[in-house]
Amino acid sequence: MTKGKRKTPKSEANRLSMVLRHVLGEDRFPVDVEALAREVSRNNDDPIGKVVGRDLPGFEGMLRPNRKRPEWHIVYNDDPRYRGRVRFTIAHELGHYQLHRPALTVQDYASGQLQRECDFHCKPLRSNAWQEADRLREEEADTFASFLLMPLDDYRAQVDGQEMTVDLLNHITDRYGVSLIAACRKWIDFTDKRAAMVVARDGFALWGRASKAALRSGIFIRSGMPMPGDALAAIGADERGFVLDRPIARPTGVWNFSRGSESVRELALVSEFLDMSLTILQFDDAVDVRQIEEDDPWDTYDQFQSGSRS
């Protein structure tokens, strides 16, 4: 699919989103991505013939060709722990189909069986396990999925500058049918507020992400960073679900970053099932923002690396 003008993940997701809007109007969420995959591929020589759940230990999903005829199958992991991510995974595989697949024709099957290897095997995000080309491809498929399932204009309208709360997060995950982490990550990506998210296990950050405004003010979440002993996720480690319903104010000294410590409003979710916690940090906007020299780390996985304990 590299002939002609290259599709970008965002432009392709936005194009499909416009189609959905045109056909379904405002009632298009959560996106029925399985139906969409069949519909958009229907008239291709190599359509998506199957979308199925399987036991896929170690993988989130796959896009793989039928060995007998020009056709693709999307396979997603049907382990219950992945359930909240199924829609995102199917959208990710649809992203590979739209952006990265080699177009298969009957000539590829001249011998009666497909000879080439062109499977896409997708693991949970672990950037250091990827070659650079794979990393870029995986990142593109994620971006496609994110923009397809959570169009920016619609998400912005839902949040409308409000503080992120449990109710608002629940509204977002219900509306788009995505996991809390996918919903949070998207919000962190576009919010112009100073905010950050940290996913942790056993007292250490597996990975984290800060909004652009937060990064500019020296808030950077490093993989492997120890979680503060007073972090809500640590205090509420025996809880299930959100430790508290609303973000609570934490004084200076609890969370420390490169520019020092500052007070923050903290929201934390503990997932016993997934054996990890998610913390959302919201900082005061009225802070003298010190510009830091960063070579736009935003579009890379610099902040998003596998922790040594994952």
- 41 vs 282 by CB, closer to Zn ion: 41
Closest to 40 measured CA to CA, from 105, 111, 116, 93: 93
Residue with Cβ nearer Zn ion (122 or 166): 122
Q: How far apart are CA 163 and CA 289, in angstroms?
A: 20
200 binds Zn ion (CB under 5 A): no
- Of 120 and 283, the one with the shorter C-beta distance to Zn ion is 120
Beta carbon nearer to Zn ion, 122 or 205 = 122
Give least dist CB 93 to Zn ion, A: 7
Q: Considering only 3-11, 74-82, 141-149, 234-242, which stretch makes contact with Zn ion by CB under 5 A?
A: 141-149
Is the Cβ of residue 92 or residue 193 nearer to Zn ion in the bound state? 92
Q: Which among 93, 168, 106 is positioned nearest to 137, based on CA atoms?
A: 93
Residue 65: asked if its preceding bond is cis (omega within 30°), the reply is: no
- 6: phi then psi, degrees, rounded to nearest 5: -75, 135
Residue 141 binds to Zn ion (criterion: CB under 5 A): yes
Taking the complex as a whole, how short is the minimal distance between the CB of residue 89 and Zn ion, in angstroms? Answer: 9
- How far is 208 from 308, CA to CA, in rounded Å? 14
Composition of the chain by helix, strand, coil, percent to 5: 35, 20, 45
For the CB of residue 243, give the shortest distance to Zn ion in the complex, in Å: 33
When the beta carbons of 123 and 216 are compared against Zn ion, the nearer one is 123
Binding mask 106-135 for Zn ion (x = CB under 5 A): ----------------x-------------
Q: How many residues form the binding site for Zn ion (CB under 5 A)?
A: 3
> In the bound complex, which residue of the shown chain has the CB atom lying closest to Zn ion?
122
Task: For the CB of residue 122, give the shortest distance to Zn ion in the complex, in Å.
Answer: 3
Q: Please, what is the minimum distance in Å from the beta carbon of residue 140 to Zn ion?
A: 9
User: Any idea of the CA torsion for 295, 148, 16, 18, to the nearest 10 degrees?
Assistant: -90
Alpha carbon distance 159, 139 (integer Å): 25
> For strand 72-77 and strand 48-54, is the pairing parallel, antiparallel, or unpaired?
parallel
Residues near Zn ion (CB under 5 A) are 122, 138, 141
